[in-house]
Amino acid sequence: MSPRKTVGEPGWDRATVIGSLFATAAYGVWGFAPLYFRWIDDFGAMQIVAHRVLWSALLLLPLVLVIGGWARLRAVLASPSSLGWLALSGVLIGCNWLFFIYSVVSGRVLEASLGYFINPLVSLVMGMLFLGERLRPLQWLAVAVATVGVGNEIVRYGDVPWLGLALALSFAFYGLIRKRLGVDAFTGLTVETWLLLPLALLWLGWQSAMGQGMFPAGFADHGKLFLAGPITMLPLLCFAAAANRLSLGSLGFFQYLAPSIQFALAVWVFAEPFATAQWWTFGLIWLALLLFSVAALYEQRRKRLTWVSAT
């Protein structure tokens, strides 16, 4: 008879399975999000982002209160330092949303998927530069291979994939600030959206003064734009539920699901141009992610052996 499992021991239990389902749901929604944004692309990227901020702010505040987050929210509001950092992270996530939605409405989902593929590697480098984390040889190799992949895109087409790099950098810096700040996801995003709300309302008001209106074309458009709130909030709920049940290492493997879905949508649904030479770019990025994953698996195995020897 095997010994009873104790808290902290790695393995596949019920919580892990449920966490994996939540993670799949979260990254699945993020992966298929281009379908929604392509559906409402007539409104334009700025208009969509403004409504995403508006409806997310209005939906997140009562949700935080319902799940018992008032004390955490009050603590953040009482800290000028936390508010300042969340204002900065709010600008970063707002820019990230704008870059992503622009990639959809301009037919550049392929480049967006490239950005989210390289994001883990950018975060790895930022951890080294700003958090004093040390990279293992396999991780250095992964970063080098990814750099060659991006370089292939630049050399062959003479054009920097600025949109993909902007997505990767904005989200990596956002993650860095949130990691250092230590505020939970719901409280942080609630404060961020409310800090961004005046800017969103100013944009919508200016659009209204120009004759565009906050809701350009009737009741049906109300529903279309309102969905930007749930599409922002629901995957966050699933992600938080997954994070409570999975290790960070296990959760990290699911992050490749979203850009993989976006890649498939770009090539086979949106029929974006995809030259043969671009297989080299994505192939090198995927090789880098494979090396990154092997390094992560090795680290998980090392920690597991350390845990077993300690018990």
Domain contains 8: no
Domain count across the chain: 1
Residues 194, 58: Cα–Cα separation, whole Å: 8
Residues 219, 48: Cα–Cα separation, whole Å: 16
Range of the domain at 288: 14-310
Residues 234, 112: Cα–Cα separation, whole Å: 21
Domain contains 262: yes
pTM: 0.86
Domain contains 9: no
Domain contains 219: yes
The mean pLDDT value for 74-103 works out to 95
Tens digits of residue pLDDT in 201-224: 999 888 878 776 555 556 677 788
Domain contains 1: no
- Using 50, 70 and 90 to split pLDDT, how confident is the model at 19? confident
Place of tokens 């659009």: 207
- Percentage of the chain surpassing pLDDT 70? 88
Residues 58, 154: Cα–Cα separation, whole Å: 42
Give the closest residue to 206 by CA, choosing from 218, 197, 214, 196. Answer: 214
Q: Report DSSP state, residue 158.
A: S
Tens digits of residue pLDDT in 230-265: 998 899 889 878 877 876 666 777 888 999 999 999
Domain contains 155: yes
Place of tokens 């845990």: 307
Domain contains 239: yes
For residue 157, pLDDT over 70 is answered with no
For residue 8, pLDDT over 50 is answered with no
Domain contains 4: no
